[in-house]
Structure 1
Amino acid sequence: MSQDIIAIVGPTASGKTDLSLSLASELDGEIISADSMQVYIGLDIGTAKVDLENQTIPHHLIDIVEPNEDFSVAEYQELAEEAIIEIQKRGKRPIFVGGTGLYIQAALDGLLFPEPKRDEKLRQKLLAQAEELGNEYMYRRLLSCDEESAQKIHPNDIRRIVRALEVYIKTGVPLSKLQKEAREFTPKHKAIWIGVTDERQILYNRIDARVDKMLNNGLLEEVTALYENGLSSNSTAYQALGYKEMIWYLKGLVTMDEAVRILKRDTRRYAKRQLSWFRRDKRIKWFSHADFADPSSLHEAVFEYITFCDLDA
């Protein structure tokens, strides 16, 4: 089907963006970002956003939220559905690309999120406790009531820790259990799932090189501007990889060398978590750069697979 949805997933720095641009050009597609940090305006270098001004291929769900605003998976789900409908109405092909697994699953599987609505009073109370007692205390608290969710969340990602605690306190049910129940529903959209990866050490080397490139391209200056313009320590954007480490440096909490070391280490750990998430999904057809002479050969193999993939089989 010429309008079958494609989903390109995989760990950070695996080459998803280049593949998506190649496929969009070949298949007359439009790209829907599935990156939880690329939604934020001004988080450009650290999130490896494409240069939209110099792009001929339409992109969706990038730069749609101010850095201090909250943005939920349910909101992404709604906007992604609108994007799918608009793209297909134009006779184009929706191509999801990104490493935020929950976003892509929400959009394509139509996950029902039986989570309670945000309780701002409870949320502020939990944030105040985090401020007083520390992120580590809140993380241990989450481990005690929802270990599965805690294992998927970085110990310093206080926004997600607080959200998971908020859900448990409001419902008495772990967020991970609610999400697991939601996944039992029949997928809303059929899609061709493509996974891109590489040998672990090569991927880690590429991550290190990407961090160096971001710094050379002005990551520190970008973060400084956001920080000076009032980026809140309680915001999700503040917790983004590359941003919190640079802010630690600006606050004098770490040296630049230490900030860079932590950023590279945590990005490698994030890539490992991404792979663990996606490996569970048996719909994904994996392509490793290790099996191809160069990226263009991998792109050709993916294109051939998509061409002959029958979602109705």
Structure 2
Amino acid sequence: MTDKPRLLVLVGPTAVGKTAYSLEIAKAWNAEIISGDSMQVYRGMDVGTAKLPPAEREGIPHHLIDICEPEYPFSVAEFQSRCQELIPEIHARGKLPFIVGGTGLYVESICYNYQFSEVGSDEAYREELQQLAQQQGNEELHRRLCAVDPEAGKRLHPNDVRRVIRALEIYKLTGAVMADQSRRQEKTSPYELCVIGLNTERSYLYERVDQRVDLMMEQGLLAEVERLLAAGVPDTAISMQGLGYKELVPYLRGEYTLEQAVYLLKRDTRHFAKRQLSWFRHMQDIQWVELDRLQNFNDALQIIHDIIAGKFKEQREYKSNQSYL
């Protein structure tokens, strides 16, 4: 046994089914859910982030959803700080803190108490890069990042000018790339940690991604993007670099057709799911549950239940009334 506080974590690629499982797990284990998604923090960005409406949360508290405006540059350091306040508060209520999400760095920053060093800043260099972007375009700025930090170049969209500039600034100030910071972490957890990863057959996951994008379009994703732009949210904001937003903005500018925009959104989401899986496969302590497309929801839920019970040395009797496939 350990005197460390318990922390339950559920991760996996987008569209794998984390939300449905998280509700049943939270009910069984008397948990409160903390969103581990870097985009669901933004108010008014509901369709594109697949945000679960409050009426469908089945009375389970959900934290770190709708906590800031789309113009706000929310960061992993702020996510970590908020979680470090939330987790003991949830324990004090006699509940189990339960992080659910697919943003790998955010989740790991909590699981292993990452230390984010203050690199400092170079205002003159920032201004120089801003002028470069204005004069030669965001793509040129992004090309320079890819030359010195290919990993960050793959992760950041060219229009995410603020983060591209920050990555270049870090490299100039330290001679090191952004990913080095996470690699240097000791990765020891302050929690009694139970981390479960959901995965499924790749072709089936990609089918689910395509279906999710089609559903988002039916639910009004395009209108959501139009409304955000009309409200004055700049297309360079961090929030607008999220999937579904950065693909539709160019359509609204007339740069390509809606059909092309939807194609790009599906493609980018599939690529994102692949990157998520790659990240989580390197995460220590994770126990994977492979979800076959024909597997009964309750059977998979029982496997998850057994993992949690084995880790926390505590048995719970429960069965879902849901009939997800």
TM bucket (normalised to shorter chain) is over 0.9
Paired with 2:97 and 2:32, the residues of 1 have a C-alpha distance of 5
When residues 9 and 191 of structure 1 are mapped into structure 2, their CA distance, relative to the original with a 3 A threshold, is: same
Counterpart CA distance in 2 for 1:70 and 1:122 is 20
Partner of residue 192, structure 2: 190
In 2, Cα distance between equivalents of 1:72 and 1:143: 22
Kindly provide the amino acid, as one letter, of the partner of residue 219 in structure 1: L
Letter in 1 for 2:168: L
Separation (CA, whole Å) in 1 of partners of 2:191 and 2:210: 36
1:57-109 deviation digits (Å, cap 9, x = unpaired): 00011111110111111111100111111111101001101110000011121
Q: How does 1:138-287 map to 2 (within 5 A)?
A: 138-181=141-184, 183-287=185-289
Answer whether contact 1:3 1:93 (CA < 8 A) is retained: no
1:83/1:191 Cα in 2 relative to 1: closer, same or farther (>3 Å)? same
Gaps of 5+ in 2: 314-325
63 and 124 in structure 1: CA distance in 2 versus 1, 3 angstrom threshold: farther
In structure 2, the partner of 1:100 is 103
Q: Give yes or no for contact 2:6–2:191 (8 Å, CA) kept in 1.
A: no
Q: 2-side partners of 1:120 and 1:8: how far apart?
A: 39
User: Which whole-Å CA distance do the structure 1 matches of 2:245 and 2:124 have between them?
Assistant: 27
Q: For the structure 1 residues 285 and 89, does the alpha-carbon distance in structure 2 shift closer, same or farther, using more than 3 Å as the test? A: same
- Structure 1: stretches of 5+ with no match in the other structure: none
In structure 2, distance between residues paired with 1:204 and 1:291:
12
- Report the equivalent of 2:87: 84
Which AA in structure 2 matches 1:160? R
Give 1:253 deviation, angstroms.
1.1
8 Å CA contact 2:5–2:191 kept in 1: the answer is no
> Is the 1:108–1:190 contact (alpha carbons within 8 Å) kept by the matching residues of 2?
no
Aligned to 1:299: 301
Q: How does 1:63-74 map to 2 (within 5 A)?
A: 63-74=66-77
Per the alignment, residue 7 of structure 1 pairs with 9
- Residue 288 and residue 169 in structure 1: after superposition, are their counterparts in 2 closer, same or farther (change >3 A)? same
Which of 277, 287, 290 matches 1:288?
290
How far did 1:8 drift?
Answer: 0.5
Normalised by the length of structure 2, the TM-score is 0.89
DSSP 3-state at the match of 2:247: helix
1:3–1:94 Cα contact (<8 Å) kept:
no
Post-superposition offset of 1:190? 3.1
Give aligned-pair identity as a percent.
45
Question: Which of the numbers 49, 52, 63 marks the counterpart of 1:50?
Answer: 52
User: CA 1:67–1:309 in 2, change beyond 3 Å: closer, same or farther?
Assistant: same
- 1:185 Cα offset (Å): 4.7
Amino acid at match of 2:156: I
Distance 2:124 2:54 in 1: 38
Cα gap change, 1:185/1:115 in structure 2, threshold over 3 Å: closer, same or farther?
farther
Structure 1 residues 282-291 or 41-50, which shifts more? 282-291
Q: TM-score, normalised by structure 1?
A: 0.92
User: Displacement of 1:176 after TM fit?
Assistant: 1.8
SS at match of 2:246: helix
Deviations 1:33-54 (A, max 9, x none): 0111111111100000011244
RMSD of equivalent CA atoms: 2.1
Alignment of 1:92-131 (within 5 A): 92-117=95-120, 122-131=125-134
State the alpha-carbon separation in 2 of the partners of residues 301 and 62 from structure 1: 28
